[in-house]
Chains A and B, each alone.
Chain A
Amino acid sequence: EPEVTQTPSHQVTQMGQEVILRCVPISNHLYFYWYRQILGQKVEFLVSFYNNEISEKSEIFDDQFSVERPDGSNFTLKIRSTKLEDSAMYFCASSGDRLASGANVLTFGAGSRLTVL
């Protein structure tokens, strides 16, 4: 079964440092997402990406965050200057053609746990 893969699985960083989280979405999917989950809390939307641009972002996704699809397979989330409150599990997700499926059926990656000290 096709999977969304994420690296690293766990990253520890110092406050103020830049972090890049990487994702390889399912190969024929067109829509890409980043969500985050602070320990014990719900899954929160950060950003959606389609056709090489951001289609929607939440208020969490401020100027410290950026996303990029540098090639045909990777989808990255960059946090420029990490804060303590950025500590969370970051999930990448992808979905296929909305017109065909009629909905955003998301497949999640295993997550990247970010710990900011």
Chain B
Amino acid sequence: GENVEQHPSTLSVQEGDSAVIKCTYSDSASNYFPWYKQELGKRPQLIIDIRSNVGEKKDQRIAVTLNKTAKHFSLHITETQPEDSAVYFCAAEYGNKLVFGAGTILRVKS
């Protein structure tokens, strides 16, 4: 079926530490994997995405890795800051839509 599993559901890190969130998907035909950040009461906002023709993409403190063989992808945030605290959703493209993971609540403690 069309499924995206996301772990962990909550993650607490100390300011300055790294955070890693992992997702797996079920359809090997999926080729696009975005990550969205959602602050409380606000819209999901795209922070980084990766297509299946690359294995890694980096944008400042944020990076995403993709393993197509294993059907999993990960978000890495380095040097975390309090403003990184939010809910992070991974997603995978299935046909004409994105299917989202259940979300990870990231808390960065200062």
Interface residues of A (CB under 8 A from B): 31, 33, 41-45, 48, 50, 55-56, 91, 102-111
B100 touching A108, Cβ below 8 Å: no
With a cutoff of 8 Å between Cβ atoms, the chain B residues found around residue A42 in the complex are 89, 100-103
Contact A108/B99 with A102-B51, A103-B49, A103-B93 known, Cβ cut-off 8 Å: no
With a cutoff of 8 Å between Cβ atoms, the chain A residues found around residue B101 in the complex are 42
| Contacts between chains A and B (CB distance < 8 A), count | 55
How far, in angstroms, from A93 to B36 measured CA to CA in the complex?
Answer: 13
Nearest chain B residue, comparing its CB with the CB of A49 = B96
How far, in angstroms, from A78 to B98 measured CA to CA in the complex?
Answer: 21
Would you call B12 an interface residue if the criterion is a C-beta within 8 Å of the partner chain's C-beta atoms? no
Total number of B residues with any Cβ neighbor in A under 8 Å: 22
With a cutoff of 8 Å between Cβ atoms, the chain B residues found around residue A109 in the complex are 43
With a cutoff of 8 Å between Cβ atoms, the chain A residues found around residue B43 in the complex are 91, 108-111
Nearest chain A residue, comparing its CB with the CB of B101 = A42
Nearest chain A residue, comparing its CB with the CB of B44 = A108
Contact A56/B96 with A42-B101, A43-B44, A108-B45 known, Cβ cut-off 8 Å: yes
Min CB–CB distance A51 → chain B (angstroms):
11
Interface residues of B (CB under 8 A from A): 31-32, 34, 36, 42-46, 49, 51, 89, 93, 95-103
With a cutoff of 8 Å between Cβ atoms, the chain B residues found around residue A103 in the complex are 31-32, 49, 51, 93
B99 touching A45, Cβ below 8 Å: yes
List 29 contacting pairs A-B, 8 Å CB cutoff, sorted by A: A41-B102, A42-B102, A42-B103, A45-B97, A45-B100, A48-B96, A50-B96, A91-B43, A91-B44, A102-B31, A102-B51, A103-B32, A103-B51, A103-B93, A104-B32, A104-B93, A104-B98, A105-B34, A105-B46, A105-B49, A106-B34, A106-B46, A108-B36, A108-B44, A108-B45, A109-B43, A110-B42, A110-B43, A111-B43
